[in-house]
């Protein structure tokens, strides 16, 4: 007796006036716009892209993920490339998702390049053109971020010595040209060397980071702060005089952790400083006087 076959389920009913859309990805993505008409399945293109990136070794972090993790929202990203979405939004959303999976920026670029080769092989010229635009935008974002990172002190995230000095020079020249005001405040943590020697560098680093945060929370958006080396910091206050510098120091002392103590010296454009060297020199002398008086 032949086994009875199970009847196939009836086809899904489509409401009148609506057309059934092809499904290119089984995972939702954050990309705007409709699904593009690709000659190849976006899912298949995503699988081919991941395999190529793994084979070439450009994105080794993918090897730590399962298959679904490797694909992520890549299928919906590929489909959106052909749907006329904003390349800036596509690039930002895609990079955020891939970096969230643990891929480094160089790995994201390598994966995008692999996708470009896959699209080229399959003749997906429209999607490839949008991808090229996404690549340029992401590359600009990465290089811009690296340039900004190169200006920062790695411990505190503040401007480092050279970047801060360059900024003071530019702003001083601008203030002189337009008859503006400007104040430079140099700050030095009290007893930092003793703490660093007795409690260790880890505790010293913690104090430096805490003071850096206090500085950032105290200055205005138009001002700038930097770590000049060791436990010495600087604050550049625009449209400020000695009174403004004093008010800044009062706010700083109120917002600092109780465990921190700081000496400061300020110099302004009104003090007759015609160059950044004179401005730094005067502020440094006043800092030394303050530190000596506090130690007495």
CB-based contacts of 243: which residues, under 8 Å, 6+ apart? none
SS (H, E, C) 140-169: HHHHHHHHHHCCECCCCCCECHHHHHHHHH
CA 277 to chain centre: 32
Using DSSP's 3-state secondary structure scheme, residue 266 falls into: strand
Residues tagged active-site: 231
Using DSSP's 3-state secondary structure scheme, residue 226 falls into: strand
Residue indicated by tokens 């503040």: 158
Residue among 227, 232, 237 at smallest CA distance from 171:
237
């Amino acid at each position: 007796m032949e086994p009875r076959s199970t009847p196939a389920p009836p086809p899904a009913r489509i409401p009148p006036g609506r057309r059934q859309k092809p499904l290119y990805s089984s995972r939702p993505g954050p990309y705007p716009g409709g699904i593009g008409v690709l000659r190849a399945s976006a899912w298949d293109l995503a699988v081919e892209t991941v395999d190529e990136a793994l084979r070439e070794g450009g994105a080794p972090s993918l090897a730590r993920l399962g298959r679904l993790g490797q694909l992520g929202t890549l299928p919906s990203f590929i489909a959106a490339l052909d749907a006329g979405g904003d390349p800036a939004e596509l690039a930002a959303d895609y990079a955020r998702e891939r970096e969230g999976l643990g891929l480094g920026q160089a790995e994201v670029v390598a994966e995008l390049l692999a996708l470009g080769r896959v699209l080229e092989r399959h003749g997906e010229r429209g999607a490839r053109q949008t991808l090229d635009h996404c690549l340029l935008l992401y590359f600009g974002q990465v290089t811009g971020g690296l340039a900004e990172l190169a200006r920062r002190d790695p411990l505190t995230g503040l401007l480092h010595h050279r970047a801060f000095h360059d900024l003071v020079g530019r702003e001083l020249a601008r203030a002189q040209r337009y008859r503006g005001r400007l104040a430079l405040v140099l700050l030095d943590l009290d007893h930092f060397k003793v703490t660093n020697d007795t409690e260790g560098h880890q505790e010293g680093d913690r104090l430096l980071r805490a003071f850096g945060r206090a500085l950032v929370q105290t200055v205005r958006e138009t001002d700038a702060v930097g770590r000049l080396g060791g436990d010495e910091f600087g604050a550049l206050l625009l449209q400020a005089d000695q009174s403004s510098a004093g008010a800044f120091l009062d706010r700083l002392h109120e917002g600092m952790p109780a465990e921190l103590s700081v000496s400061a010296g300020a110099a302004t454009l009104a003090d007759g400083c015609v160059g950044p060297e004179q401005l730094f020199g005067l502020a440094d002398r006043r800092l030394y006087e303050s530190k000596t008086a506090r130690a007495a």
